[in-house]
């Protein structure tokens, strides 16, 4: 009778959306699946990203054999630079995923320190007691895989993010056959993506957006701005094909969009005909009706290309009356205000703005499977134990209920970050907890572990102080009514208040009237300029809080 157990330990992503990270342990060997991040809530002042607390992995670093990546989205790979500071272990991923990882590690000057090992669907490899087979799945990103891991007590399958698309634009469909083969052989546990459990039916194929987009391309009389997630290679491919069909030249605008299209082209996921892409500096050489701008910034990020174009401060992307802007993406919860603010600015420019309102054809489809796809996969795999992953607790609970309703599983178990689930062929049970939680990261700082925001605020105030920049702006004219007040507390040494006021004034003077009317942009630009000036002058990184007063 098998008495040893396999331990499944989620460290992120079960109880929240984002920062997906899960450990699998057999005796003295640990595999890690994904190392993602999440973006902070608005109340986390000064925090740029949030990554999982990997104290458990650090305590057991001698036993960690590698990190397996399912795909290249930020919520699955974004935490790697911080995780790899603590764990110098090999990273396994598909070709496209590793191309994204290389860029991240190069940015953090870590590329030479880490072994990146390419994996391919249907090609098994072994790490310690584990034999892993990547299985092709479809998602909103290309080159995504599920992981079938053969352990001493049985096979567990982690789906990663998926939807079942049998005719994706790259011609590499979801591999239902391999999932079915594993189902025939017997699967101990299935860990399945819960993201869309509240959606009934099936998620449409990526091709479903093409008819509506084709119609929009055909009726657009002037310039066409097309914005989607820079990682949505399928969507970019469809947009480029339509641009070519409708006789439009394409300019790629925005750093992330440029990087993604270059990687996709290099790896053969985009076949761009010669002459289709033009340099942004050539936009003036073509009539508006012959142009499409593929532009990043679909979530209304303050400094993104689309946000700057919306307030007419982008060097190349000029939005003029009658231009059409297509936002081919979903609104990520928490981004509503910034997105609607950008849309407001677009309307001020008399642009035609097309969002995914669902009223007249699809311009965006999800990358996650809906309930019927979840049921289909569960019925194919027929696992002994079902474990929902990815999402808030209510999603995990609903997903467990959906799995139980199929009648194709032995039992469903809901676990959260830090739970230790012990599994073998006889039983599965929760047995204790490990440290799990969030690590708050300030851009440019070393890893800063805090368990409570209040503690972090107190530490920041005690060590580096606080800066209040009080700005008085005329609501109607946008003019600066009086000199800004800069209040500094917790600083020693020379008085830099007056130079700081001059920095704020120069920053305000550089803003356009439309930017001054957008207090979100004003605050962010003032914060960035003050942060740069104070860090250069004093070496301190205080909490900077711009306050705008309407006069």
Q: H/E/C letters for each residue in 200-239?
A: CCCCCCHHHHHHHHHHHHHHCCCCEEEECCCCCHHHHHHH
The answer to whether residues 379 and 475 belong to one domain is: no
Q: Is residue 449 part of a domain?
A: no
Segment 203-212 shows an average pLDDT of 94
Residue that terminates a domain, selected from 375, 408, 440: 440
Phi then psi for residue 254, to 5 deg, are 110, 140
Average pLDDT, the chain: 91
Q: What is the CATH number of the domain that holds 222?
A: 3.40.50.10710
364 is in an annotated binding site: yes
Q: Is residue 47 part of a domain?
A: yes
Question: Which residues are tagged catalytic?
Answer: 193, 368
| Alpha carbon 99 to its chain's center | 16
Q: How far apart are CA 355 and CA 118, in angstroms?
A: 37
512 is in an annotated binding site: no
Q: Is residue 12 part of a domain?
A: yes
Q: Is residue 456 part of a domain?
A: no
The answer to whether residues 296 and 348 belong to one domain is: yes
Q: Is residue 249 part of a domain?
A: yes
The answer to whether residues 78 and 98 belong to one domain is: yes
**Eight-state DSSP code of residue 90:** -
CB of 526 within 8 A of CB of 504? Answer: yes
CB of 21 within 8 A of CB of 158? Answer: no
Q: Which of 202-216, 269-283, 370-384, 517-531 is predicted with the least confidence, judged by mean pLDDT?
A: 517-531
The model's pLDDT over 73-125, given as tens digits with 9 standing for 90+, comes to 999 999 999 999 999 999 999 999 999 999 999 988 999 999 999 999 999 99
The answer to whether residues 418 and 538 belong to one domain is: no
The answer to whether residues 226 and 344 belong to one domain is: yes
Q: What is the CATH number of the domain that holds 472?
A: 3.10.20.580
The answer to whether residues 337 and 410 belong to one domain is: no
Radius of gyration of the chain (CA): 25
The model's pLDDT over 46-86, given as tens digits with 9 standing for 90+, comes to 677 889 999 999 999 999 999 999 999 999 999 999 999 99
368 is in an annotated binding site: yes
Structural domain range at position 287 = 206-354
Q: Which of 343-357, 450-464, 471-485, 504-518 is predicted with the least confidence, judged by mean pLDDT?
A: 450-464
Q: What is the CATH number of the domain that holds 164?
A: 3.60.15.10
Residue that terminates a domain, selected from 306, 326, 354: 354
Q: Which of 149-153, 232-236, 378-382, 476-480 is predicted with the least confidence, judged by mean pLDDT?
A: 476-480
Per-residue pLDDT, 445: 45
Helix%, strand%, coil% for the chain, nearest 5: 35, 25, 40
The answer to whether residues 338 and 253 belong to one domain is: yes
pTM for this entry:
0.83
Q: How far apart are CA 67 and CA 450, in angstroms?
A: 24
Q: Which of 196-205, 218-227, 397-406, 495-504 is predicted with the least confidence, judged by mean pLDDT?
A: 495-504
Residue that terminates a domain, selected from 440, 470, 491: 440
Q: Is residue 453 part of a domain?
A: no
The answer to whether residues 49 and 131 belong to one domain is: yes
- The total number of structural domains in the chain stands at 3
What percent of the chain has pLDDT above 70? Answer: 93
Q: Is residue 1 part of a domain?
A: no
The answer to whether residues 506 and 481 belong to one domain is: yes
Q: Could you give the 3-state DSSP secondary structure of residue 327? A: strand
The answer to whether residues 31 and 180 belong to one domain is: yes
Segment 236-248 shows an average pLDDT of 97
Which structure tokens are listed for 136? 């092709």
Q: Is residue 451 part of a domain?
A: no
The answer to whether residues 41 and 165 belong to one domain is: yes
The answer to whether residues 59 and 119 belong to one domain is: yes
């Amino acid at each position: 009778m098998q008495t040893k157990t396999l331990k499944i330990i989620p460290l992120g992503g079960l109880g929240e959306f984002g920062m997906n990270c899960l450990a699998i342990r057999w005796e003295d060997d640990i595999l890690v699946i994904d190392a993602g991040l999440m973006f902070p809530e608005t109340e986390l002042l000064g925090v740029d990203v949030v990554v999982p607390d990997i104290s458990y992995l650090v305590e057991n670093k001698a036993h960690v054999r590698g990190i397996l990546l399912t795909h290249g989205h930020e919520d699955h790979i974004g935490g790697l630079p911080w995780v790899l500071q603590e764990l110098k272990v090999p990273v396994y991923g598909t070709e496209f995923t590793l191309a994204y990882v290389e860029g991240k590690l190069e940015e953090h000057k870590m590329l030479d320190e880490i072994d990146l090992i390419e994996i391919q669907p249907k090609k098994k490899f072994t790490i310690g007691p584990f034999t892993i087979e990547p299985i092709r799945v479809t998602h909103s990103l290309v080159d995504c895989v599920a992981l079938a891991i053969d352990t001493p007590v049985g096979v567990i399958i982690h789906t990663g993010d998926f939807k079942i698309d049998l005719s994706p634009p790259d011609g590499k469909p979801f591999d239902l056959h391999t999932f079915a083969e594993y189902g025939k052989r017997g699967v101990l546990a299935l860990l399945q993506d819960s993201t869309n459990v509240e959606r009934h039916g099936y998620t449409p194929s990526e091709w479903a957006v093409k008819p509506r987009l084709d119609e929009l391309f055909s009726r657009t009389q002037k310039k066409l701005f097309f914005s989607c997630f820079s990682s949505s290679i399928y969507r970019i491919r469809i947009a480029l094909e339509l641009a070519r069909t409708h006789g439009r030249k394409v300019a790629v605008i925005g750093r992330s969009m440029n990087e993604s299209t270059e990687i996709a082209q290099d790896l053969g996921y985009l076949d761009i005909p010669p002459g289709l892409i033009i340099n942004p500096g050539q936009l003036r050489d073509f009539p508006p009706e012959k142009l499409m701008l593929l532009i990043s910034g679909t979530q209304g990020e303050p400094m993104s290309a689309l946000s700057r174009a919306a307030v007419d401060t982008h060097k190349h992307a000029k939005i003029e009356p009658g231009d059409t802007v297509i936002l081919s993406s979903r609104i990520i919860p928490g981004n509503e205000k910034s997105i609607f603010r950008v849309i407001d600015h677009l309307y001020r420019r008399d642009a035609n703005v097309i969002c995914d309102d669902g009223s007249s054809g699809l311009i965006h489809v999800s990358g996650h499977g809906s309930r019927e796809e979840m049921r289909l996969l569960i019925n194919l795999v027929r696992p002994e134990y079902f474990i929902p992953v990815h999402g808030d607790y209510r999603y995990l609970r609903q997903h467990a209920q959906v799995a139980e309703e199929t009648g194709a599983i032995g039992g469903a178990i809901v676990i959260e970050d830090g739970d230790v689930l012990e599994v073998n062929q006889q039983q599965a049970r929760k047995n204790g907890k490990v440290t799990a939680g969030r690590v708050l990261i300030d851009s440019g700082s070393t890893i800063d572990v805090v368990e409570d925001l209040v503690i972090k605020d107190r530490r920041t105030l005690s060590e580096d102080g606080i800066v209040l920049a009080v700005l008085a702006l005329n609501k109607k004219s946008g003019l600066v009514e009086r000199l800004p007040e800069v209040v500094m507390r917790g600083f020693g040494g020379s008085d830099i208040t007056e130079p700081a006021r001059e920095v704020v004034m120069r920053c305000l003077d550089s803003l356009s009237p439309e930017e001054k009317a957008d207090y979100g942009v004003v605050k962010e630009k003032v914060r960035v300029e003050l942060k740069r000036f104070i860090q250069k002058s004093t070496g301190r990184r205080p909490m900077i809080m711009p306050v705008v007063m309407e006069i």
